[in-house]
Amino acid sequence: MSQLRKVALVGNPNAGKSALFNALTGARQKIANYPGVTVERKAGRLLLPSGQPIELVDLPGSYGLDSTSPDEEVTRKVIMGEFPGEQAPDALIVVLDASNLEQHLVFALEVIELGKPTVVALNMVDLAERDGLVIDPAALASELGVPVISTVAVRRRGLSELAEAIAQAGAREPEKRHPHGFLPERRLTAHAIADGAILSETARHRLHAKLDRVLLHPWIGPLILFALLFVVFQAVFAGAAPFADGLDAGVAALGDLVRGALPPSLIRDLLTDGIISGVGSVVVFLPQIIILFFFILAMEASGYMARAAFLMDRMMASVGLSGRSFIPLLSSFACAIPGIMATRSIADPKDRLTTILVAPLMTCSARLPVYAVVIAAVIPQRAVLGPVGLQGLVLFALYALGVVSAMVVALVLRSTVTKGAASGFIMELPKYQMPRLKDLMIGLWQRAWIFLRRAGTIIFMVTVVLWLLLNFPRAGQGESQVDASFAGKIANGLAVVVEPIGFNRDIALSLIPAMAAREVAVSSLATTYAVDAGDDDSTQAALGEQIAARWTLPTALAFLAWFVFAPQCMSTIAVTRRETNGWKWPVFMLLYLFGLAYIFAGITYWSALALGL
Ligand SMILES: Nc1nc2c(ncn2[C@@H]2O[C@H](COP(=O)(O)OP(=O)(O)OP(=O)(O)O)[C@@H](O)[C@H]2O)c(=O)[nH]1
Ligand SMILES: [Mg+2]
């Protein structure tokens, strides 16, 4: 088999490598406006102008070939041909941020010194122009001894020229003009080259500097961050309500339609009580998910996220972590899995391990349906202060509880099992950019798709299995179907364990399937209540109404507290095993999180009872 020619994209973090990779190959790799987004190698295929295909590899950003963190290690190994099972790339594309030329040239020089066929993509020339920088690519090319192509990855500018240059890079003999140097020399050279290539520069950084003075202000900054997050959670409830109600009505109508169209049978029950009630109860949270991600993606693209990391650095340092951990923890708001993967950009192994262990405490989007359904059922929808709603406030409090717990646990871990000094934090602050609507839409679409795919696969399957377990063996006359079923028997056994923390049998029943994914707790409850109600129309009510009628407030609050901590996600455990190379830490994670969940649910339940709620 003939191997494809291989070309790798290298450069400093946040230079736009993944954006170029996506533009050249049509892939949809995650890009975001902060350093350390890509942590793995990713390959795709690019057709050269001649029609010949090559393999293009996107790599994690790096500051030098003396790698310090696991993600930089990947870059070094791939470039040097030491990556297991992979031959060295035939050519390299060094991606430079034109608006940050001098700094990015330092690593570029080190890569060019390797003497491989190399092309430089002078990316983000639009940002450079915006800042009043005019750069001469020809001067840069003659200084570096390799072709330099100006590009704007996100507007697909310069792509065909770049492809042409890649096609020719392999044909030329590499020019070994640059002797091997050391870092200080490279810095001097980078300075001189940048000076020579920058034709004119006007000070238009002022607006951004002003913005940073406010947003990074020691106390105004955190206040703004806090206010912003507050708005996000209010919006999740208030903004989603009309859409969620519409979806709710749609699911109910679909159930009625099927119930009316089919004669009474087990198949009809499976469709209505199992699939439509179960999967439908999760799908209705799509609007909330979209609103949450709209804010997260806009904050990522604008460059604000990196500022938030900067702001949090001091707080993180006080618990023995660094601002470096902030981005992985923040990604965990979406899902702990990419969050844990993102820890690869943390150089210090103990810092990294601590971050992995606390990542599941950040409230992932799978918890949103669980929180939202219970809050909507038991917390009254009223304003507390002006437009501030109580429901949004409780949601915010649950997220805050997750963050505070993560900090406390990190502090405890850092002085016990992962003892060590906190490492320093250096992160470049990316340029502010206006988020582009199209990118936001694509990002939201991807998120919505992930959510719906989960509903259609894992949640669907677990729901069907649960429905079967709930319906067999069949109940006798006058006996409750749930009590008679296999699932009911298992739940009754488990109920003994969770009774002290205020959980009822239905909750016990939802906890085991929810190990597959947290949202399953919602679909399981919906299916259980639908089976329990049988064909009696008077008890066929939406899940929220069922919870409001059947649960006491202390039980509902204990359930919420449980979900702040409980490690109910198999995939997180699996990815922790992979990232820590063994079972020791995932088992530790499971035990400490279940322990905390049990204790906090219990405290919540008994305090609520004592308060007479
Ligand atoms: N204006 C402008 N923005 C760009 C350009 N190329 C990339 N970006 C933006 O710059 C940010 C960083 O892009 P990425 O492709 O994630 O950068 P990367 O080099 O892959 O970063 P790491 O994976 O962290 O190493 C994103 O917000 C992109 O939308 C460009 O040419 N012009
Ligand atoms: Mg990238």
Contacts of 528 (CB under 8 A, 6+ apart): 466, 470, 482, 487, 506, 509, 510
Distances in Å between the Cα of 162 and the Cα atoms of 93, 151, 168, 588 are 9, 8, 10, 49
Sequence letter at residue 248: D
pLDDT band at 336 (very low <50, low <70, confident <90, very high): very high
Distances in Å between the Cα of 277 and the Cα atoms of 256, 272, 491, 539 are 11, 6, 20, 14
Sequence letter at residue 284: V
Q: Answer yes or no: is the C-beta of 18 below 6 A from any ligand 1 atom.
A: yes
- Asked if residue 1 has pLDDT above 50, the reply is no
Q: Answer yes or no: is the C-beta of 346 below 6 A from any ligand 1 atom.
A: no
**Highest mean pLDDT out of 303-312, 395-404, 527-536:** 395-404
How does strand 133-135 pair with strand 91-97?
unpaired
Q: Answer yes or no: is the C-beta of 127 below 6 A from any ligand 1 atom.
A: yes
pLDDT tens digits for range 235-274 = 887 888 888 888 888 988 998 899 899 998 888 989 988 8
20-29, 384-393, 418-427, 435-444: least confidently modelled range: 418-427
Query: What percentage of the chain carries pLDDT values higher than 70?
Result: 95
CA 396, chain centre distance (Å): 19
Residue 175 CA to ligand 1 center (angstroms) comes to 29
Q: Which two tokens stand for residue 376?
A: 């909507």
Residue 433 CA to ligand 1 center (angstroms) comes to 10
Residue 148 CA to ligand 1 center (angstroms) comes to 18
> Residues 147, 171: contact at Cβ < 8 Å?
no
pLDDT band at 522 (very low <50, low <70, confident <90, very high): very high
Q: What does the DSSP 8-state code read for residue 15?
A: S
- Closest atom of ligand 1 relative to the 36 alpha carbon: 24
pLDDT tens digits for range 60-76 = 999 999 878 899 999 99
Mutate to test the pocket of ligand 1, among 21, 22, 37 (most ligand atoms within 8 A of CB): 37
- Closest atom of ligand 1 relative to the 12 alpha carbon: 25
Q: Which two tokens stand for residue 536?
A: 């009696």
Q: Which two tokens stand for residue 313?
A: 């650095």
> Residues 482, 470: contact at Cβ < 8 Å?
yes
Reference 343, options 580, 561, 161; nearest CA is 580
pLDDT tens digits for range 374-411 = 999 999 988 887 778 888 889 999 999 999 999 999 99
* Whole-angstrom distance, CA of residue 307 vs CA of residue 228: 13
* Whole-angstrom distance, CA of residue 279 vs CA of residue 454: 10
Reference 558, options 418, 329, 396, 374; nearest CA is 374
pLDDT at 378: 93
Residue 31 CA to ligand 2 center (angstroms) comes to 6
> Residues 125, 152: contact at Cβ < 8 Å?
yes
Q: What does the DSSP 8-state code read for residue 318?
A: H
Task: Kindly report the number of other CB atoms within 10 A of residue 109's CB atom.
Answer: 21
- Closest atom of ligand 1 relative to the 61 alpha carbon: 25
Q: Is the dihedral of CA 478, 484, 488, 494 positive or negative?
A: positive
Reference 28, options 542, 519, 549, 446; nearest CA is 446
DSSP states along 510-573: HHTGGGT-TTHHHHHHHHHHHHHHTT-GGG---HHHHHHHHS-HHHHHHHHHHHHH----HHHH
How does strand 198-201 pair with strand 133-135?
antiparallel
Residue 513 CA to ligand 1 center (angstroms) comes to 40
Q: Answer yes or no: is the C-beta of 123 below 6 A from any ligand 1 atom.
A: yes
pLDDT at 424: 63
> Residues 270, 467: contact at Cβ < 8 Å?
yes
CB-count exposure of residue 269 (10 Å: 0-12, 13-18, 19+): buried
Q: Answer yes or no: is the C-beta of 13 below 6 A from any ligand 1 atom.
A: yes
- Residue 95: nearest ligand to its CA? 1
> Residues 454, 464: contact at Cβ < 8 Å?
no
pLDDT tens digits for range 459-492 = 899 999 999 998 888 888 878 888 889 998 999 9
Q: Answer yes or no: is the C-beta of 152 below 6 A from any ligand 1 atom.
A: yes
* Whole-angstrom distance, CA of residue 554 vs CA of residue 160: 63
- For the entire predicted model, the pTM comes to 0.83
- Closest atom of ligand 1 relative to the 127 alpha carbon: 1
Residue 33 CA to ligand 2 center (angstroms) comes to 10
Residue 481 CA to ligand 2 center (angstroms) comes to 53
Q: Answer yes or no: is the C-beta of 126 below 6 A from any ligand 1 atom.
A: yes
* Whole-angstrom distance, CA of residue 76 vs CA of residue 90: 15
Q: Which two tokens stand for residue 1?
A: 């088999």
Q: Answer yes or no: is the C-beta of 38 below 6 A from any ligand 1 atom.
A: yes
pLDDT at 204: 58
Q: Strand, coil or helix: what is 11?
A: strand
DSSP states along 49-82: TTS-EEEEEE----S-SS--SHHHHHHHHHHHT-
Q: Strand, coil or helix: what is 431?
A: coil
User: For residue 123, what is the enclosing H or E element?
Assistant: strand 118-123
- Residue 11: nearest ligand to its CA? 1
Q: Answer yes or no: is the C-beta of 24 below 6 A from any ligand 1 atom.
A: no
Residue 71 CA to ligand 2 center (angstroms) comes to 11
DSSP states along 30-56: ---SSS----S-EEEEEE-TTS-EEEE
Residue 467 CA to ligand 2 center (angstroms) comes to 43
The alpha-helical segments, DSSP class H, found in 415-473 are 437-454, 460-471
Reference 99, options 201, 29, 186, 167; nearest CA is 201
* Whole-angstrom distance, CA of residue 373 vs CA of residue 578: 33
